[in-house]
A and B are shown apart, each in its own frame.
Chain A
Amino acid sequence: DAAVTQKPRYLIKMKGQEAEMKCIPEKGHTAVFWYQQKQSKELKFLIYFQNQQPLDQIDMVKERFSAVCPSSSLCSLGIRTCEAEDSALYLCSSSQSAANSDYTFGSGTRLLVI
């Protein structure tokens, strides 16, 4: 089992609906990353948190997503209004803020927007 936990594993939404997925980072990890992956192709960086604060994010996230880490043990990524193009695997990764840290990935949330 991955040390990073993501829920739910699968999510089906209609266009226009809101979606939310959660990530529980590995214990002691202070950095959390979200990525979007379509059809097992390249990973697209979405947003990066350090100590629950967003330090970097792409424009798409600013415009259409909502991402927070209300505690050190929980982060969430939401899509305010789902579009078909949002169908993808959303991967969460966490790490310690240290040079020799491991970056471990959760199992992902697979979102299908119909």
Chain B
Amino acid sequence: GEQVEQRPPHLSVREGDSAVITCTYTDPNSYYFFWYKQEPGASLQLLMKVFSSTEINEGQGFTVLLNKKDKRLSLNLTAAHPGDSAAYFCAVINTGYQNFYFGKGTSLTVIP
């Protein structure tokens, strides 16, 4: 089955710096990719949903890159601010099954 590996598990950056979180997956049939943000004590908030045909996806303050050749999905927070401090999870869906395959999460701390 699908294996999703998310790195790093913990990340600390200074305000204004960029932060990059990466997920690799194994199933070449994976076709939808998600990034979620979870603030302390809260539920998961969808940041972006990416279809397999789109390699670069811009959000507000972040970019999601999909490299299908390397089976890698990355979330790049540009100019991080303290409000970005949270846990981030990637998730992958493949054509054969509708369940999510989640990464184990990255705890991001942005130091003022």
Contacts and interface: CB of A to CB of B under 8 A. Distances in A.
Q: Do A and B actually bind?
A: yes
A41 B46 CA distance: 17
- Say which size band chain B's interface belongs to: 20 to 34
- Say which size band chain A's interface belongs to: 20 to 34
Interface in A56-114: 56, 89, 91, 93, 95, 97, 99-100, 102-108
Given A40-B40, A41-B105, A106-B43, A99 B32 contact: yes
Contacts of B98: 31, 48, 50, 95, 97
Given A40-B38, A99-B31, A100-B51, A105 B43 contact: yes
Contacts, number: 52
> Can you list the 6 inter-chain pairs with the closest CB atoms, starting with the nearest?
A42-B104, A105-B44, A107-B43, A43-B102, A108-B43, A105-B43
A107 B38 CA distance: 11
B99 A33 contact: yes
Contact of A103 (B51, B100, B105): B100
Interface of B is mostly: strand
Interface of B: 31-32, 34, 36, 38, 40, 42-46, 49, 51, 87, 89, 91, 98-100, 102-105, 107
Nearest to A43: B102
A99 to B, nearest CB: 7
Nearest to B51: A100
B89 A107 contact: no
B52 to A, nearest CB: 10
Given A2-B43, A102-B49, A105-B43, A56 B31 contact: no
A19 B87 CA distance: 28
A41 B105 CA distance: 7
B99 A45 contact: yes
A114 to B, nearest CB: 19
Contacts of B42: 107
Nearest to A31: B98
A49 to B, nearest CB: 11
